[in-house]
Structures are given as C-alpha cells and as structure tokens.
Amino acid sequence: MKVLVLYESFFGNTEKVAQVVAAQLGSTGEVEVLKVTDASLEQLKGIDLLVVGSPTRGFSAGPGTTAFLKSIPKGSLAGMKAAAFDTRLALEDIKPAFVRLMQKWAGYADVKIAAMLKTAGAEVILPTMGFNVAESEGPLKDGELERAIAWAKQISNGLHM
C-alpha cells in the first residue's frame, strides 16, 4: 500500500502530528511525508491512502493546503482512500466568548479538508480528527501525540476491513 501524508505547519505542531501518523502507518506499506507546498499533483498518482493535515487558520485550512486541494481536478481521486486532521485551539480555550461562538459556528479545518477531498473523488474513511494546542502557536497539549497514534491505528484498521 502506498501512503502519502501531506501537511501544512506554521509552528511545527501539525508537522509533529503528521510525522507520528506516518510512523504509525509505516506498517501498512510505503509511506511518504511531505509539506503540502512541496507536493505536486503528479505525486498523487498510484497513492492508495492520502492523509492531509493543516492548522485551523481563520476557520479553515491553511492557504497552502486549500490551494493544493482546490487544484486537484474534481473526481480525479476516485478509488483513493483519505483521512483529514487539523491542529486547533479547543473551543473552551478560545477567548473572548464571541470568537469562541464564531469558531463553533464556522468550524475547523478538518471538516473543510475532508469536503475538498470528497470533491476530488476520495473516500474519506474515518471521521476527521482535531488535535489540540495549548496556545495559538502551540505546543500540542499533553496526550495529543498519543491520540494521533490511536487515530492512525484506526486508519490502518479501516484499510484492512
């Protein structure tokens, strides 16, 4: 199985999650990890599983992730499995309350990434996942890398169904 993990990271938090997920998926076959800005559409050919992660920025994925996913021709990922994650501030950590309400209403990057993957034709195999940071620049909250390992195990198990 060929796996590609793409990520965008501003402060290193999303990269840490991407690396942990990739390491866990290493037992499924050949795994490559790339910054989304270093990826090309050509690298998607022959991929069985695409995992995409980005920090939530302005209620969406980062600009590099959004641009790359929007550049994928509609339906061209048919037959490919995919998973999506983000790094974020937990709702209870967002201040002021008005911004917290806006975040709750607008959502996080994980769901938007999954929607773009589906538009491109991929089958998103698990619920998306959000990994929490302690502050807007990080670090990841305690236990989040362990959650990333568990999520990657779920992905791996979903591939063997």
Query: Mean pLDDT over residues 96-104, rounded?
Result: 84
Tell me: the pLDDT tens digits for 59-68? 999 999 999 9
Tell me: the pLDDT tens digits for 109-158? 999 999 999 999 999 998 999 999 999 899 999 999 999 999 999 999 87
Q: Give the CATH number, domain containing residue 41.
A: 3.40.50.360
The H or E element containing residue 83 is: strand 81-89
**Is the separation of the CB atoms in 40 and 69 below 8 Å?**
no
Assessment of whether the complete model's pTM goes beyond 0.75: yes
Residue 28 has pLDDT above 90, yes or no: no
Q: How many domains does the chain have?
A: 1
The dihedral formed by the CA atoms of 97, 52, 145 and 15, expressed in degrees to the nearest 10 = -90
Find the domain containing 77 and state its range. 2-159
